[in-house]
Amino acid sequence: MSWDFTYLFTEILFYKVLFGVSLIGALSGVVGTFSLLRKKSLISDAISHSVLPGICVGFIYEGSKNPLVLLIGCLIAGLISVWLIDFIVRRTKLSEDTAIAFASTFFFALGSVLLSYIVAGDNPEKVGLKDYLFGKAATISFEDINIFMYCGVAILVLIVAFYKQIKLVVFNVDFAASIGISIRLIEFMIAVITVLTVAIGIQAVGVVLMSALIIAPSAAARYWTNNLVKVLLLAALFGCLASSLGVFTSGIFEDMPTGPWVVTYLFLFVFFTLLFAPRKGWFSVLKRKRKTKGRIERENVLKTFFQLEESGVDNVRIQDLMQRRYFESSVLGKILNSLQKDDLLQKENNVYHLTVEGKTESSRIVRLHRLWELYLTKRMNFKEDHIHGSAESVEHLITPELEQELLRDLDFPESDPHNKNIPY
Amino acid sequence: MKNYSIEVHNVSVAYDRIPVLWDIDVDLPIGKIIGIVGPNGSGKSTLLKAIMGLISLSSGSVKIFGQDLNESRDKIAYVPQRESVDWNFPATVRDVVEMGRFQKGKLFHRLTAVDRELVDYAIKKVKLKEFENRQIGQLSGGQQQRVFLARALAQGASIYIMDEPFVGVDVATENAILELLTEMKNEGKTLIIVHHDLQTVSDYFDYLVLLNTRLVAHGPTTEVLTRENLQATYGGQLNLVAQIQELIKENEMPLREKGFEDK
């Protein structure tokens, strides 16, 4: 293995590849965002598989690996597959997933047949054509990069120019049509930019893995923000970053493929996102759950104090609490401490008293419990022995606004269905 | 000739060869709250889509203030069914209402100061000012319906076409919508609303179109809302028509022979 970093960074070839692949990654992120929002991520898979026969036909026609001719071959083949999927969905009883699976495998089979035909032939240019299957970033030439640049600029200009139209069609196609936007034109444009992106991308990551580059960056980006422009930029960043990391990895370790590494990094990003994203991420959800659980336990302790004082126990000790309601002793200790810290509870010689604030808070919880029990019996015809369980959980959920509504609806009642006072 | 907001001439529409609208011929007045009423599958939404040019007609034509749709798009605003979009879309209330100020021909489109004022006004009208920067998925169903309404308001049209705006909506939103509709009517706007709840029909609308694949009746609510008309609208599909529909599908029969549209 070669570990010569200085060699790596002085090599112009390396920069060339780095630039080309990063550009592809950023573009894929942007274009993929529209696929994601249209719920058409899978179509990119069909497109990437279907460009293989496009490349082969381009090669057979030209007799050499002229990048422009191959690109045009890709574009035509990709558009045919998009059209075919649309045609199958509209004109047959087959569903969209069937149509996509059919198109992607059929075109891939066709491409493989053509590829073996070319490989069996005696055109010396055929060497390297198989690299389109899994991609070989190192074969990117300056001519390729020129083409990437032109395509990239064209795609970005189209997206910026038609941004509002695209957004409208993606969000609400009927409304877009109602104000006179040509749906066919915009959908065709989205198809063209998707196919173009796939076509320039397969050289780096290959036919088989290209759809990951379209799907993954936007899927991750959507988790981090609710703003479309930010989703687009973030998807571009993810795509770009994963691509550069892929190029570095394959540059540092000899014989390491670029494409599979790019895809591996992408999925690390997605995985990281699923764990750490705000609100919807795994840790965020877990944190919310724990917070709620902690609040419920705390409120239960306060409620138990209220009930004990209601039944005449003035000097509450830990044993009294444990007798009245089951608490885990370690949890109970922590809650008692935190209640003291918040000045809801006072402790003298192992005897606890609610402070004034503590009384207010505990009576609020008991009030919600009893109000809800009353509501269940009065308005929803529940039997009196069936209401306690529901009130045990609902008491922790009722917001001040809902409480006001309950009070108004029940006209500030005095006692609950079990003839206990409702404390105010 | 009398002035109409929308003229529907002999319109027929077929989905997958099954006719869902048959020879609908109706002229709608100006400045009224018009209800399009009928049972499920009676073609109410289809009629709206036919008026808005969202589906191709098997035959017939539609005029808006006597003009073709393409010449009068800025006079007509469409409020689709709430369920027709994905509310997880990364957009705020304001983003969606701004879509109402979009002009189709313009590239690199930007809002002007006037546009922004109109958007502000529309958001306030539907009482969503405090939610304007919230992501649309974090709204209640009623609030989402009001977002769509605000977008239509921002369009500043004369005719408003709404597909089931009262479905899945809380009482507050229902009242807000009704208040808004009355206000708009008093400004001379025409409101055309697809509705399926018979209970509320006479409270909401002053003009009715009763539909069940074919036109059953149309006219002022007090005249049209009779037992016989309702029987005809809701009394189930006509058996013979249903059988003909099946035959048309089985035989791959064109609904109209070619050349009919040109007449």
Q: Output the pLDDT for position B90.
A: 96
User: How far from the centroid of its chain's Cα atoms is residue A10's Cα?
Assistant: 38
Tokens encoding A271 = 């995985």
Gap between the Cα atoms of A403 and A407, Å rounded: 6
For residues B213 and A3, which has the higher predicted lDDT (pLDDT)?
B213
User: pLDDT band at residue A6, thresholds of 50, 70 and 90?
Assistant: low
User: pLDDT band at residue B239, thresholds of 50, 70 and 90?
Assistant: low
Matching residue, tokens 């009070």: A407
Strand partners, B219: B208
What is the interface size between A and B, counted as CB pairs within 8 Å? 74
Q: Output the pLDDT for position A28.
A: 96
Q: Output the pLDDT for position A162.
A: 93
Q: Output the pLDDT for position B180.
A: 92
User: How far from the centroid of its chain's Cα atoms is residue A287's Cα?
Assistant: 19
| Contact at CB, A170 and B89, closer than 8 angstroms | yes
As a whole number, the mean pLDDT across chain B is 88
| Contact at CB, A170 and B84, closer than 8 angstroms | no
Residues A96/A85, Cβ–Cβ less than 8 Å: yes
User: pLDDT band at residue B262, thresholds of 50, 70 and 90?
Assistant: very low
Gap between the Cα atoms of A269 and A275, Å rounded: 10
Q: Output the pLDDT for position A107.
A: 95
Which one of B80, B106, B137 has the shortest CB-CB distance to A174?
B80
Which one of B54, B92, B108 has the shortest CB-CB distance to A177?
B54
Q: Output the pLDDT for position B263.
A: 41
Using the Cβ of B104 and the Cβ atoms of chain A, whether some distance falls under 8 Å is answered with yes
Q: Which element (helix H / strand E) includes A185?
A: helix A183-224
Q: What angle do CA A187, A191, A197 make, to 5 degrees?
A: 145
By C-alpha distance, which of A122, A41, A43 is closest to A80?
A: A43
Lowest-confidence region among A268-277, B70-79, B235-244 = B235-244
> Could you read off the pLDDT of A212-222 as tens digits, one per residue?
999 999 999 99
Residues B163/B79, Cβ–Cβ less than 8 Å: yes
- Cβ atoms within 10 A of the Cβ of B216, count? 22
- The residue of chain A nearest to residue B81, with distances taken between CA atoms, is A174
- DSSP class of residue B102 equals -
Tokens encoding A220 = 């991750």
Q: Output the pLDDT for position B219.
A: 94
Q: Output the pLDDT for position B32.
A: 94
Lowest-confidence region among A329-338, B177-186, B254-263 = B254-263
For residue B86, the chain A residues in CB contact (below 8 A) are: 37, 39, 171
Gap between the Cα atoms of A206 and A211, Å rounded: 9
User: How far from the centroid of its chain's Cα atoms is residue A123's Cα?
Assistant: 46
Q: Which element (helix H / strand E) includes A260?
A: helix A258-276
| Alpha helices (H) in chain B, listed in sequence order | 44-51, 93-98, 113-125, 141-155, 171-186, 201-204, 221-224, 227-234, 239-250
Using the Cβ of B70 and the Cβ atoms of chain A, whether some distance falls under 8 Å is answered with yes
Residues A85/A99, Cβ–Cβ less than 8 Å: yes
Q: Output the pLDDT for position B231.
A: 84
Gap between the Cα atoms of A97 and A45, Å rounded: 11
C-alpha distances in Å from residue B75, one per residue of A105, B35, B61, B65, B234: 48, 19, 18, 9, 33
By C-alpha distance, which of A351, A326, A323, A325 is closest to A336?
A: A351
For residue B73, the chain A residues in CB contact (below 8 A) are: 178-180
User: Nearest C-alpha of chain B: how many angstroms from A87?
Assistant: 14
By C-alpha distance, which of A347, A343, A338 is closest to A357?
A: A343
Average pLDDT over residues A268-275: 96
Please, which residues have CB within 8 angstroms of residue A89's CB and are 6 or more apart in sequence? A95, A96, A99
User: pLDDT band at residue B254, thresholds of 50, 70 and 90?
Assistant: low
Average pLDDT over residues B18-32: 91
Gap between the Cα atoms of A214 and A47, Å rounded: 11
Chain A from 162 to 201: CB within 8 A of any B CB: 162-165, 167-168, 170-172, 174-175, 177-181
| Contact at CB, B90 and A37, closer than 8 angstroms | yes
Q: Output the pLDDT for position A80.
A: 96
| Contact at CB, B104 and A174, closer than 8 angstroms | no
- For the cut 70, the answer to whether the pLDDT of residue B98 exceeds it is yes
> Could you read off the pLDDT of B207-224 as tens digits, one per residue?
999 998 899 999 999 999
Average pLDDT over residues B9-25: 88
By C-alpha distance, which of B96, B169, B101, B170 is closest to B135?
A: B96
Matching residue, tokens 């808005």: B52
Please, which residues have CB within 8 angstroms of residue A200's CB and are 6 or more apart in sequence? A24, A27, A71, A147, A148, A151, A152
SS3 category, A417: coil
User: pLDDT band at residue A401, thresholds of 50, 70 and 90?
Assistant: confident
Matching residue, tokens 């699976």: A101
Average pLDDT over residues A339-364: 91
| Contact at CB, B91 and A178, closer than 8 angstroms | no
Gap between the Cα atoms of A415 and A418, Å rounded: 8
Rg (alpha carbons) of chain A, rounded to whole number: 32
Phi, psi for B3 (deg, rounded to 5)? -90, 130
Gap between the Cα atoms of A58 and A132, Å rounded: 13
Q: What is the ipTM of this complex?
A: 0.89
Strand partners, B33: B191
User: pLDDT band at residue A11, thresholds of 50, 70 and 90?
Assistant: confident
Q: Output the pLDDT for position A1.
A: 45
Q: What is the DSSP string of A365-394?
A: HHHHHHHHHHHHHHHH---GGGSHHHHHHH
- For the cut 80, the answer to whether the pLDDT of residue B86 exceeds it is yes
Residues A120/A56, Cβ–Cβ less than 8 Å: no
Using the Cβ of A228 and the Cβ atoms of chain B, whether some distance falls under 8 Å is answered with yes
> Could you read off the pLDDT of A291-307 as tens digits, one per residue?
999 999 999 999 999 99
Matching residue, tokens 């290209």: A210
Lowest-confidence region among A2-11, A82-91, B46-55, B57-66 = A2-11
For residue B49, the chain A residues in CB contact (below 8 A) are: 174
Strand partners, A415: A421
Q: Output the pLDDT for position A163.
A: 94
- For the cut 90, the answer to whether the pLDDT of residue A414 exceeds it is no
SS3 category, A151: helix
Q: Output the pLDDT for position B1.
A: 45
User: How far from the centroid of its chain's Cα atoms is residue B23's Cα?
Assistant: 19
> Could you read off the pLDDT of A119-169 as tens digits, one per residue?
888 888 888 888 888 888 888 888 888 888 899 999 999 999 999 999 999
Using the Cβ of B95 and the Cβ atoms of chain A, whether some distance falls under 8 Å is answered with yes
SS3 category, A181: coil
